[in-house]
Amino acid sequence: MNLFNSALGKNITFVHPAYFIISGLSGIPDMKYYYVFLCFVYIFSVLGNTAVMAVIYLDHNLRTPKYIAVFNLAFVDLFGSSALVPKLLDIFMMNHRNIPYNDCLTFLFFCYTCLGMQSFNLVALSYDRLIAIIYPLHYQVKVTHRFMLSMIASFWVFVIIAALISVGLLTRLSFCKSVVINSYFCDYGQIYRLACNDYFPNYVISCLFPALTFWGPFVFILLSYLYIGCTLAKVASVREGLKAFKTCTAHLSLVAIYFIPVLITSGSTLMDNIHPNARIMNLSLTSIFPPMLNPIIYVLQTQEIKKSVKRLLKIRGKSKVIKKLTIT
């Protein structure tokens, strides 16, 4: 990140604070119950996503391009929850609201990377469903292991570079005013608005990053399902169309859980119809709920994973019986 500063000239000195103060969710009664709730959400997120990753890894029948994307989504959810929730509990539950400058930027980088990858992972799954339904005969050729791995790797590279640029541009800001961030984490918009020098590049990034990592994927997913619906309406009967759409229910559920709360919160914020604390809590729930619900949805709505879990449990049960017989 020092490259951003050296490129601007060696004689420029930036005033970086020793720490920022996270002041979100203050003044709300009985918030301790919310923090206990966060603990349970985090535990379920870790257990659920670890279980999904283990099932996909252990069952060779799930080594398909689609489940490469599902495995990556579970990994991102696990990684994102571990980056965000323990830090939130440390800040608010342990009242460690002073977060060092470098730690704040690192925290922001990991949060932005995981949030961006969640939406791009839904794009990968959307593309998988699009080809499977519209071009079923060409699916094996178009959606290969190599293609899916390359697509996911390119998403990782893009999101990491975008997050690095966003965080790197913060290092060229001088902070000579307040260091209080009114949010539940090191919020990018809250940070650059505290600067006392020109923050126009940061404003541009704050508009560009969501456009690329949230709105872009959302539009692609929306258009892909509109295309699927229009195509099925032309070439398939109602029964066949519903049967085809049934294969998309798990993915559509993930899309709804991830995008709808953000759209509602963003719309309420733009219309100034939401209290700052309500906005902060809504955004925090939007960040922590999808990682917990995603594995539940895939286990309950995906027949392949259900069968895989039953098969693995059956194999484990047989191995226990054989072990007991050999001992006796």
Q: What is the pLDDT of residues 6-51, one digit of tens each?
A: 444 455 678 899 999 998 777 777 778 888 888 999 999 999 999 9
**Which of 38, 18, 46 lies closest to 93, judged by CA?**
38
First-to-last C-alpha distance (Å) of the chain = 64
* Joined tokens for residue 77: 């959810």
- What is the model's pTM? 0.87
Token representation of residue 207: 């508009």
Does 321 have pLDDT greater than 80? no
Residue range 113-134, pLDDT digits in tens: 999 999 999 999 999 999 999 9
Calpha distance 225→309 (Å, rounded)? 29
- Sign of the alpha-carbon torsion through 36, 41, 45, 48: positive
Instruction: Give the CATH number for residue 230.
Output: 1.20.1070.10
- The two tokens of residue 284 are 């925090």
Total count of domains within the chain: 1
What is the pLDDT, as a whole number, of residue 319? 54
Max mean pLDDT range (29-43, 45-59, 226-240)? 45-59
pLDDT of residue 26: 73
Percent of the chain surpassing pLDDT 90: 46
Highest mean predicted confidence (pLDDT) among 197-206, 242-251, 308-317? 197-206
The pLDDT mean for the chain works out to: 85
Reported in sequence order, the residue ranges of the chain that DSSP labels E, i.e. its strands, are: 19-22, 98-100, 180-181
Helices 101-134 and 216-235: angle between axes, nearest 10 degrees = 10
Q: Which domain holds residue 109?
A: 2-327
pLDDT at 202 over 50: yes
How sure is the predictor about 318, in pLDDT bands with cuts at 50, 70 and 90? Answer: low
Longest dimension (CA), the chain: 80
Query: 259 is written with which tokens?
Result: 């995008």
Distance CA 77, CA 294 (A): 8
DSSP character string of 61-88: GG-SHHHHHHHHHHHHHHHHHHHHHHHH
